[in-house]
Structure 1
Amino acid sequence: MKKNESIYITKPGSVEIHPADHPVPKEGEALLELVYGGICGSDLNTYRGNYAYAIYPNIPGHEFSARILEIPENSAGLKPGMLVTANPYFNCGSCYSCRRGFLNCCVDNQTMGCHREGAFSRYITLPVERLYNGNGLDARRLALVEPFCISYHGVRRARIQPGDKVLVVGGGTIGINAMLAAKHFGAEVYVADVVPEKLSFASKMGADGTILNSGPDDFLKAAADATGGDLFDAAIEAVGLPSTFQNCIDAVCYEGRVCVIGIGNQTLDFHYTMIQKKELNIFGSRNALKEDFMDVIALFSKGTFDPLDIVTNEYRFEDAPKALEDFDRHSGSMLKVLLDFTC
């Protein structure tokens, strides 16, 4: 067994790797060896100092695959040597949301790498009930399950149906995954972004069309042109800015649906009567549920598309400081970044 080390974002713009004690599993917990981890938008925004839920110093990371080293007897049939991923959203179990089964939006939600210590250590422990069997997926693809679940849950919230015309505002990882999820549900999907390179990538990944978000007037004209003047049945907000939420309000049809996945810390001043006038259905989407993880693992296993196509960069564990620095500087061209913990 290697020595244990952890990646820390100590403050905005600063990443350090520190030695750590080997974790000892408590009752009901498994000992895991990290294999791959994905750097997500919340990790990047924590590094930048503009993430709403960031704490410092903290170990980032909640997208990962791991190998089980030790595990107690369990009903899921998980055994040492298996590859797993995990649900990283810790819930209290007693609030009104939890009592109704909405564990993803627990009022005291504690997401790994955000509100509590994350996964980016060589060795971690987690409760057995949070672990999901990879069912034959390799470690790199398995590390991509959680970010796809975020998008998949939002698309389900938006009630996407076959034949819907859907606009995804934001061409980052969550936006591209939302486009793929919406297409899985039978929709015709456009992606809007301010960065032409991201739109090119969206087209390569299967978007039915793209919109360069160069300004409110041009954006609305492009939305109308794409839909024959009808506007979109649904819009998925995958950025987390007031302006992109406004884009969604503007781009959907009367009785349309807007689902907000993006996380931001800014306020929005807008003509809210448009919600009433259009009779809009507006949904928030937070985290994901066990059934989302199960669905996405099964979806990846089918091979309809390759989730690895979204990976643009890969770094060794020890190069995590450079990975976040590069991601910060080149976020227009970098999409999903993986860390290899086996090095």
Structure 2
Amino acid sequence: MLKVQVTSPGEIAVVDAERPTPAPGEALVRVRYAGICGSDLQTFTGNQPFASYPRVPGHEWSGEITEVNGDSGDLRAGQLVTGNPYFNCGECYSCRRGLVNCCESNQTMGVHRDGSFQEYITMPVDRLYPADGLDPKHAAMVEPFSIGWHAMNRARVTERDRVLVLGAGAIGMLTMVSALARGAEVHIADIVPERLAIARELGASSAVDLTATTVAELMSEATGGDGFDVVGEATGLPVSFLNAIEAAAFGGRIALIGNGKREVSFNQSMLIRKELDVLGSRNSLDAFAPLIELLQRGEVDISPILTAVVPAFATVDAMRDLLEHAELNVKVLVEF
């Protein structure tokens, strides 16, 4: 079978490999589509601190079950599925409390263990979610959708809220869609016009270019100066964190989604003065099934976020293109 392997930082190739064999309790899955995520690019470039090599990237995927070793439950051969790529230990304090997304020994596909950039993978059956009736491309986007969905769960978004999302990458836009699905009024800000155009297509109340408008001006225009009930920070940049504090209403909530790589200095009294809830949001929890149902009912449309589909043999070129032209791509899928 074909697989994409990062042999060392900066070195990536499409190679032949043996098809894996499912262990008891596992299914063999023929991958249909795998999404390229920022963490995959970090693994490729050597900027992912938890990656070891050689490594097959990929944690966003859809596929068809080929066989199951043992009790298949409701699963069947030929069925379209996606899966939770975050493997928790089941023993740490977080896991014992049911917060498996916060597992202290989490292992993520494509980082700590081989991922979905290959024709066949094996997965524990209890980590698979049937996606009958979905476009396989959309099924491969359930995992990134779950990140934004979990963040808006953490921020307790309702139809009464005015929400600002900072960052219009794939996760930012799926965070926006998650808030829209709850009936909130949602605004989004970025510095890339092409991405903002997609956000408008998805239903943003406004999509603001922060190279031409300040956060203070955005807040004044969108809320009359009241501030946003919820701000989702989806870039990880220090300036974006400070913008989130400025944009939030007194008594508001900030959901931190983007992984920061640099320290940020701020006066903690800003949080106290506004009595802000600042919520970290890691991975997702209990999100796959409700999102699949949401997509099956046709209540949301995530197709505008998909900007390219490339064949497996072109994965290396696609990853290099994403590194050089990130502004032109939001979500790129690899077809296996």
TM-score by length of structure 2 reads: 0.96
- 2:84 matched to which residue of 1? 87
Answer with 180-189 or 133-142: which moved more.
133-142
**2:224 counterpart (212, 228, 239):** 228
Select which of 203, 210, 220 maps to 2:207: 210
Instruction: Give the drift of 1:186.
Output: 1.0
Matches of 1:267 and 1:305, distance apart in 2: 36
Q: Within 2, Cα distance between the matches of 1:177 and 1:195?
A: 16
Q: 1:27 to 1:75 in 2, by over 3 A?
A: closer
Once residues 138 and 74 of structure 1 are traced to their aligned partners in structure 2, the CA distance between those partners, rounded to angstroms, is 27
User: Which runs of structure 2 are paired with 1:236-251 in the superposition (5 Å)?
Assistant: 236-251=232-247
Choose the corresponding residue for 1:279, options 275, 278, 282.
275
**Amino acid corresponding to residue 338 of structure 1 in structure 2:** L
SS of residue paired to 1:179: helix
| Residues 1:252 and 2:248 aligned together | yes
CA distance in 1, matches of 2:202, 2:327: 16
* 1:140-190 Cα shifts (integer Å, max 9, x gaps): 111111110111111111100112110000000001111111011111101
What is the aligned partner in structure 1 of residue 162 from structure 2?
Answer: 165
> Quick one: structure 1 residues 102 and 6, their matched pair in 2 at CA, closer, same or farther if it must change by over 3 Å?
same
Range moving further from structure 2, 151-160 or 4-13:
4-13
Q: Decide whether the 8 Å contact of 1:29 with 1:127 is kept in 2.
A: yes
Which AA in structure 2 matches 1:334?
A: N
Structure 1 position 155 matched with structure 2 position 178: no
Report if aligned partners of 1:39, 1:337 keep a CA contact under 8 Å in 2: yes
- After superposition, the Cα gap between the structure-2 partners of 1:40 and 1:269, relative to the gap in structure 1 and judged at 3 Å, is same
Alignment partner for residue 37 of structure 1, among 26, 34, 37? 34
Equivalent residue in structure 2 for 1:308, among 303, 312, 324: 303
| Structure 1 segments unaligned to the other structure (5+ residues) | none
Matched, 1:145 2:142: yes
Percent identity between the two aligned chains: 45
Per the TM alignment, residue 278 of structure 1 is displaced from its structure 2 partner at its CA by 0.8
5+ residue gaps, structure 2: none
Question: 1:22: how far off?
Answer: 1.7
1:323 alignment partner in structure 2: 318
> Is the aligned partner of 1:193 residue 2:190?
yes
| Alignment CA distance shift 1:274-1:191 (3 Å) | same
Aligned partner of residue 274 in structure 1, secondary structure:
helix
1:21 to 1, 8, 18: 18
Moved more, 197-206 or 78-87: 197-206
SS of the aligned residue for 1:204 comes to helix
Within a 5 Å distance, the mapping from 1:101-112 to structure 2 comes to 101-112=98-109
Structure 2: distance between partners of 1:203 and 1:334: 16
Equivalent residue for 2:125, pick from 123, 128, 134 = 128
- 1:165-184 matches, cutoff 5 A: 165-184=162-181
Matched AA of 1:101: G
**Cα distance change on mapping 1:264 and 1:116 into 2, 3 Å:** farther
SS at match of 2:175: helix
Matched, 1:65 2:75: no
Contact 1:327–1:334 at 8 Å: present in 2 too? yes
1:333 lines up with 2:319 in the alignment: no
- Equivalent in 259, 283, 289 of residue 263 of structure 1: 259
Q: CA deviation at 1:10?
A: 3.0
How far, CA to CA, are the matches of 1:140 and 1:104 in structure 2? 24
Aligned length: 336
CA distance in 1, matches of 2:280, 2:236: 12
Deviations 1:216-251 (A, max 9, x none): x82222222221010100100111122211111111
Contact kept, 8 Å, 2:20 with 2:121, in 1: the verdict is yes
> Shift of residue 8 of structure 1?
1.5
Q: Which AA in structure 1 matches 2:297?
A: K
Distance 1:267 1:54, change over 3 A: farther
Q: Contact between 2:24 and 2:70, CA under 8 Å: does it hold in 1?
A: no
Question: Retained in 2: the 8 A contact 1:15–1:320?
Answer: no
1:115 CA displacement: 2.0
> For 1:301 and 1:89, how far apart are their aligned partners in 2?
23
Q: Is the 8 A contact 2:202 2:302 kept in 1?
A: no
Matched, 1:99 2:96: yes
8 Å contact from structure 1 (residues 52, 263) kept in 2: no
